[in-house]
Amino acid sequence: MNTVLLPSGSRPALALLALALATAAVQPVVVQPVAGQRPVPSTGLEIMQEVDLRSRGWGDMEAELRMEIHDDGDLRLRVLDVKLLEAEDGDRTLLVLKEPRDLTGTAFLSIRRPGGDRAGWMSLPSQRRPRRIGDARGSDAFLGSHLTYADLDPPSLDGYDFRVVSEEEIAGAAGVVVERTVAGRESGPRELVWVDTRDFLVHRVEFYGADGALDRSLVIDSYQTVAGFPRPARLEMRQAEGTGRTVLEWRDIQIDVGLSERDFDPGRLGG
């Protein structure tokens, strides 16, 4: 098992993860590297590091995110402007609601520091100052969807153990299922992540609670390539019980638009 300690400088990986343990030990996937190339990732940690490496380097990004919330036959729509920034002192995510009209201007800011520490703020149009979002709210539903506030954070490799639990075909290519658990814990929530080992893209994530029961599943239906970077185009978060689901569609993605840390200053939220 590979452990990444919290003090390490490893940078965030993919969106929407969390995990715990499994029973039988599984041998790493063995892939022979091509002469002259760096070794092909084979262990759970190496595979997730490769996913992280290939998903990074775009610097900053703007996009529109359309969120459809389906519950018991009802449909609610949320449309958000999204800004993202990769930075040495912490990746930033800023979401500002455009629709519905009664929520227009509501903003959420998240900063994930190296080592995994998180800071979050929320600003409402009726408030003069943003307020902090504590870690205790991390599991609360975001805007009535099937996502949580914690799902908005740029996830981190720090402080987690990873191991390959199975090999299977994923999206027409060879792939693996990687389990992620909190480092040093023998029980607790866990995640299973489906990764194809051709392009090292994530196609599915299953979230399990501390009781071992499946809670939610995230399915990434499609990717789009923007300025040479693969970005998720359509995702769906499904509740394990019932028919509740939230569909996310990324639109009008623009990379390297010149954003800076100033654009993610909590003091400017709502301004």
Structure tokens that stand for 200 in this block: 């090292």
**Can you give the pLDDT at residue 217?**
96
pLDDT tens-digit readout, 88-117: 888 999 999 999 999 999 999 988 877 767
Q: Residue 241: which residues within 8 A CB-CB, separation 6 or more?
A: none
Q: Percentage of the chain with pLDDT > 90?
A: 53
pLDDT exceeds cutoff 90 at 1: no
pLDDT exceeds cutoff 70 at 270: no
* HEC string for the chain: CEECCCCCCCCCCCCCCCECCCCCCCCCCCCCCCCCCCCCCCCHHHHHHHHHHHCCCCCEEEEEEEEEEEECCEEEEEEEEEEEECCCCCEEEEEEEEECHHHCCCEEEEEECCCCCEEEEEECCCCCCCEECCHHHCCCECCCCCCEHHHHCCCCCCCEEEEEEEEEEECCEEEEEEEEEECCCCCCCEEEEEEECCCCCEEEEEEECCCCCEEEEEEEEEEEEECCEEEEEEEEEEECCCCCEEEEEEEEEEECCCCCHHHHCHHHCCC
Structure tokens that stand for 89 in this block: 């002192």
**Can you give the pLDDT at residue 55?**
84
Q: Which whole-number Å values give the CA distances from 125 to 97, 187, 262, in the listed order?
A: 11, 42, 20
pLDDT tens-digit readout, 54-94: 888 899 999 999 999 999 889 999 999 999 999 888 899 99
pLDDT exceeds cutoff 80 at 13: no
Structure tokens that stand for 97 in this block: 């609601």
pLDDT tens-digit readout, 141-162: 888 899 987 787 656 788 899 9
**Can you give the pLDDT at residue 104?**
94
**Can you give the pLDDT at residue 127?**
80
The pTM assigned to this predicted structure is 0.80
pLDDT tens-digit readout, 195-216: 999 999 999 999 999 999 999 9
Which amino acid is present at 130?
P
Cα-Cα-Cα-Cα torsion 270, 149, 1, 3, nearest 10 degrees, comes to 40
